[in-house]
Amino acid sequence: MSGEPRKRIDWPPTLAAMRQDALRAEHLRFVREAPRGGVLHCFVLDCSGSMLAGQRLALAKGLLIALFDRASAARAEAALVCFGGAGADVRFGPAVPRWWNERWLRPVAGGGGTPLTAGVRRATQLLERSARRKPGQQRWLWILTDGRTRDMPARPLDVDEVVFVDFEREAIRLGRCEMLADAWGARRFTPEELMG
């Protein structure tokens, strides 16, 4: 269609996919275009007591550093919302993360209950403000949790993509991250899948 943006073929991965075959549609790889309005990655970190078991919170912090580094390299904005105990608060952003390192996350402690709804509500407020300020911006919501909660919050409206990073490790799984990801039409990964 004439209204759709034209995609550019990314030739090196296309040729690698072809190998010795004749070029077919399934070989085509396209250049990923950055959204014109930029990108905001809003990370929502579960800091509840259950995340302290098995060093899950430490693993989540390490993953966050890597994700913030990726956002910074892409000149994307990032925000961090932490929830645990009785509530949730914004710890960073939204801003382009410069000089981001583990010192920013060291003071983030864990303990208490898992107020997932409060964390999602706080992120929703942040995303709504961002949507008013930069309507052309693409907004991603990342929820890093073990899902050890009874909360089943609603999916925020002002978000383009949702990713659940599932830290659940118990032998008897509750599977709440999976349930929420299915209900929200979101992606779900383990931390290892994202670090690999």
Q: What is the pLDDT of residue 2?
A: 42
Neighbouring-strand partners of residue 42: 79, 141
Q: Which CATH class is domain 39-195?
A: alpha beta
Q: Which part of the chain has CATH 3.40.50.410?
A: 39-195
Maximum Cα interatomic distance, the chain, rounded to a whole number of Å: 60
Q: What is the pLDDT of residue 97?
A: 74
Backbone angles phi, psi at 51, to 5 degrees: -75, -15
User: How far apart, in whole angstroms, are the C-alpha atoms of residue 51 and residue 84?
Assistant: 10
Residues of the chain predicted below pLDDT 50:
1-4
**102-128: pLDDT as tens digits:** 666 666 777 888 899 999 999 999 999
Q: Which of 140, 110, 111 is nearest to 126 (CA)?
A: 140
